[in-house]
Amino acid sequence: MQLSSRRLRAALLAAASLTLVAAVLPPPTALGIGDPLFPELGNPGYDVLSYDLSFTYKDNKSPLDAVTVIDARATAPLERINLDFTHGKVASAEVNGEPARYESVGEDLVLTPRRAVADGGPLRITVRHTSDPRGRGDGGWVPTEDGLAMANQADAAHRVFPCNDHPADKALFTFRISAPAGLTAVANGYQVAPALRIGPSTTWTYRTRHPMATELAQVSVGRSAVVHGTGPHGLPLRNVVPAADRQRLDPWLKKTAGHIEWMEERVGRYPFENYGVLIARATTGFELETQTLSLFESSLFSGDGYPEWYVESVMVHELAHQWFGDSVTPRTWSDLWLNEGHATWYEALYADGLGKYSLERRMREAYQRSDQWRAAGGPPAAPKAAAPGEKIGLFRPVVYDGAALILYALRQEIGTPAFDRIERRWVAQYRDGIAGTADFVRLASQEAGRDLGAFLEPWLYGTKTPPMPGHPEWSAPAPAPAGKAAPGKAAPGKAAPGRTAAGKALPGGKRV
């Protein structure tokens, strides 16, 4: 038949051209989108629309079985597709329903589909793989006493699942998590349907209503209690705590609604479908603003070591990130100051409101250290890359209090009403989007009614801290010679300096 033979010819031609394509493709290489701090994060040529992640958990000593389904749109013709993925074994890969060849190159998983993907065309990738919670603790799965949690910031999501691991490519997420009886699984977003029990295993399904960066994904498996409540204007609250600690932690959980109200008064409506804290029996040394479900170490709430006002201000810090960092995601990792500067700002403002540590005093103390912080970590908007093997070394004081100081200077320069308008408009205009430093300068200039570029430039990019408007008496001591600790210098790796009302440094500054 004519039709059939034409089809056959077309198939043969396609097969021949595919062979030719395969023969001339150069060896696969690891790619990135050119982030100044993480050049190999992310991948060119496609935009992820959604992730559908399935995990089967057994115990902390075994890799999880996982299936990652990615729906994307090609933004260029693609003969190869790079994903970021490491620390798991791949069993199979498919592109648009057909098996694809896969190879690991560095921390990329490189897929070669049978037929090239057309520019603008749909791209569905399915990878069957394992996800290994064991090994070096540099992000990804975090073992807890009773299971696992996740901490992917900045570049560890691809230690858990294959992805386009850069905050500039946000997507919707669905999580399907199966775990043995006695354990409870929770993830970002809302629960789609009641947990489904089949034999000895139960499966939970969660979905995000808003796009999310891979670094903000959260999956918790443990002997957990899920404590529901209601926040301002009916916002669903969902906290996840070790079941055994529920009663002890309850007074802390009750504070969240008030924190949200406090933030909403300042910047407008909470941006997501629900909120809650995930308190894990784990030693991480940090808290993390995973979207809709912020991760905290249980030791923060143990009642010894940290005064109540400090714990609350850290809770507000992670909550503030839901607007600054989660809803509005940084364009590159050099824009991290927009996350941490704002979260520190509201943390400090909250402590100020409690009458425990005034904003002005905190900013004056930050001012005194700012030149040292800039010398150690680079300017707030152009931070130095972390040393090899110290990925979280990026989270230095210069992007916390050193960046909150920029916001303080801006408020001093343009006045509180204009500053407040900037904050509200920033999170409204870029809601569910990405934005960078230039966007902030532009928006600030618009709200202030004058070009703030020349004013903000040295605050953002200078090696020296500019004079503080309204505080000519503030001064920054010169940096100490290399190797010598300067007076008042924060210990390396310590984040916002937590202090008691009496000015005593709190034990163990926390990365937040």
C-beta nearest to Zn ion: residue? 343
Footprint of Zn ion on 364-423 (CB under 5 A): none
**In whole angstroms, how close is the CB of 471 to Zn ion at the nearest point?**
26
Residue (of 197, 209, 202, 199) closest to 185 by Cα position: 202
Nearer to Zn ion, 220 or 313 (CB): 313
Nearest Cα residue to 90 out of 104, 78, 70, 76: 104
Edge-first strand order for the sheet with 140-144 is: 140-144, 147-151, 219-222, 184-187
Kindly state the smallest distance separating residue 344's Cβ from Zn ion, in Å: 7
Q: Indicate the residue among 74 and 300 with the shorter CB distance to Zn ion.
A: 300
Instruction: In whole angstroms, give the CA distance from residue 50 to residue 107.
Output: 21
Tokens encoding 350:
């909250």
Which residue, 68 or 153, has its beta carbon nearer to Zn ion?
Answer: 153
The phi and psi torsions of 243 (rounded to 5 degrees) equal -55, -35
Q: Which range touches Zn ion (CB under 5 A), out of 295-303, 334-342, 348-356, 486-494? A: 334-342
The secondary structure element, H or E, covering residue 48 is strand 46-56
Query: By rule CB under 5 A, what string of x and - marks binding of each residue 156-195 to Zn ion?
Result: ----------------------------------------
Alpha-carbon distances of 441 from 380, 381, 447, 471, 474, rounded to whole Å: 14, 12, 10, 22, 25
- Which phi and psi (to 5°) does residue 301 adopt? -105, 15
| Alpha carbons 477 and 442: distance in angstroms, whole number | 32
User: What's the closest the beta carbon of residue 404 comes to Zn ion, in angstroms?
Assistant: 11
Closer residue to Zn ion (CB): 224 or 284: 284
Q: Which residue matches tokens 């992007």?
A: 399
CA distance 431 to 210: 10
Which span sits near Zn ion by CB under 5 A: 160-168, 251-259, 332-340, 424-432? 332-340
- Of 83-91, 231-239, 301-309, 504-512, the window that binds Zn ion (rule: CB under 5 A) is 504-512
Least gap, CB of 293 to Zn ion (angstroms): 15
Least separation in angstroms between residue 336's CB and Zn ion is 9
**188: burial class by Cβ within 10 Å (0-12, 13-18, 19+)?**
buried
Using the rule CB under 5 A, give the single segment among 36-44, 253-261, 340-348, 417-425 that binds Zn ion. Answer: 340-348
Residues 6 or more apart from 481 whose CB is under 8 A from it?
Answer: none
Out of 70, 343, 392, 441, point to the residue binding Zn ion (CB under 5 A).
343
CB nearer to Zn ion: pick between 53 and 288: 288
Q: Which of 41, 216, 443, 512 binds Zn ion (CB under 5 A)?
A: 512
Q: CB of 162: closest distance to Zn ion in angstroms?
A: 27
Q: Tokens 């920033």 appear where?
A: 426
Asked if residue 495 binds Zn ion (CB under 5 A), the reply is no
- Closest CB to Zn ion among 409 and 495? 495
User: Cβ closer to Zn ion: 183 or 512?
Assistant: 512
Interface contacts to Zn ion, rule CB under 5 A: 340, 343, 512
